[in-house]
Amino acid sequence: MRIDVLTLFPEMLEPFFSASIVGRARAAGLTEIVCTQIRDFATDKHKSVDDTPFGGGPGMVMMCGPVFDAVEHVESLDPRQATRVLLSPQGERLTQATVESLAGKPRLLILCGHYEGFDERIVEGLNPLEISIGDYVLSGGEPAAAVLVDAVVRLLPGALGSDESAETESFADDRLEYPQYTRPREFRGMAVPEILLSGDHGKIAAWRQAQSEARTRSRRPDLLNKAERPASLRIQQRWA
Ligand code: ADE
């Protein structure tokens, strides 16, 4: 999978994309991630990428020209059709189902906004999926791009140490993960649940499932009511 990230701050993202699971996946050739500086596509001598809003008001708005030129240039570098994503607090809230769907695409193009937002014609003309990582406002789309890329890349086959780990994680089945423990058996008076030391794999599996259900019920009951979730957010097919 190729992932292009169009940003005014590639220096925020490059170290992130070079570390940990994402960095390892790149090094292993599972994904190619390329950051492109939108300012390189500015056409005036000040290298402007934003301007004041028509109609007045505070802040600056990202201009169409440099963004369209950057998108068209980057898309011409690879024949695979890119799924365009624009990160914005106005987008559809990111879920694991959306992440799974994006992980099945051959190519993603992620646009990070800054300032007061994008000229609306960028949304109209480029028709991207608009995605928000939560109901709060960031200074720009870069932290959201880091979140999205991390969530997608770790699902690419071979990105995690063992294929099983992605399957049992929180949200993989609309359930939160059961609690985990490692050595020592007792720490500051807190003991590991006896059943995990029993060696009885059937009982351990049943305990974990019960823990997973109870946690989901108490912390995220909304996950149990799948019927209440919009159809667009439900997992249709794992790699669709
Ligand atoms: N840009 C600013 N805030 C954002 C958010 N919550 N999600 C995605 N992109 C953003």
**pLDDT digit string, tens, across residues 198-210:** 999 999 999 999 9
What single-letter amino acid sits at 5? V
What is the model's pLDDT at position 233?
A: 44
pLDDT tens figures, 130-162: 999 999 999 999 999 999 999 999 999 999 987
What is the model's pLDDT at position 163?
A: 58
Same fold, 2-153 and 168-239: no
The mean predicted confidence, pLDDT, of the chain is: 92
Which tokens in the block code for residue 7? 């940003």
Residue of 7, 62, 87 best suited for mutating to test ligand 1, as the one with most atoms within 8 Å of CB: 87
Residue of 8, 137, 139, 149 best suited for mutating to test ligand 1, as the one with most atoms within 8 Å of CB: 137
- Inform me whether the pLDDT recorded for 234 exceeds 50: no
The CATH class given to the 168-239 domain equals: mainly alpha
The answer to whether the beta carbons of residues 204 and 161 sit under 8 Å apart is no
CA 213 to ligand 1 center in whole angstroms = 31
Once rounded to an integer, what is the mean pLDDT over residues 35-44? 98
CA 61 to ligand 1 center in whole angstroms = 15
User: Which residue's CA is minimally distant from atom 5 of ligand 1?
Assistant: 89
How is the chain split into domains, by residue range?
2-153, 168-239
Residues with CB under 6 A from ligand 1: 87-89, 113, 132-134, 136-138, 141, 144
Once rounded to an integer, what is the mean pLDDT over residues 9-32? 98
DSSP 3-state of 87: strand
Q: Is 64 exposed, middle or buried (0-12, 13-18, 19+ CB in 10 A)?
A: middle
DSSP 28: T
Q: Is 78 exposed, middle or buried (0-12, 13-18, 19+ CB in 10 A)?
A: middle
Which architecture does CATH list for 2-153? 3-Layer(aba) Sandwich (3.40)
Once rounded to an integer, what is the mean pLDDT over residues 45-72? 97
Question: Which of 151, 240, 168 has its CA nearest to residue 211?
Answer: 168
Q: What is the pTM of this model?
A: 0.90
Once rounded to an integer, what is the mean pLDDT over residues 172-178? 89
User: Which residue's CA is minimally distant from atom 2 of ligand 1?
Assistant: 138
Which tokens in the block code for residue 186? 């007792």
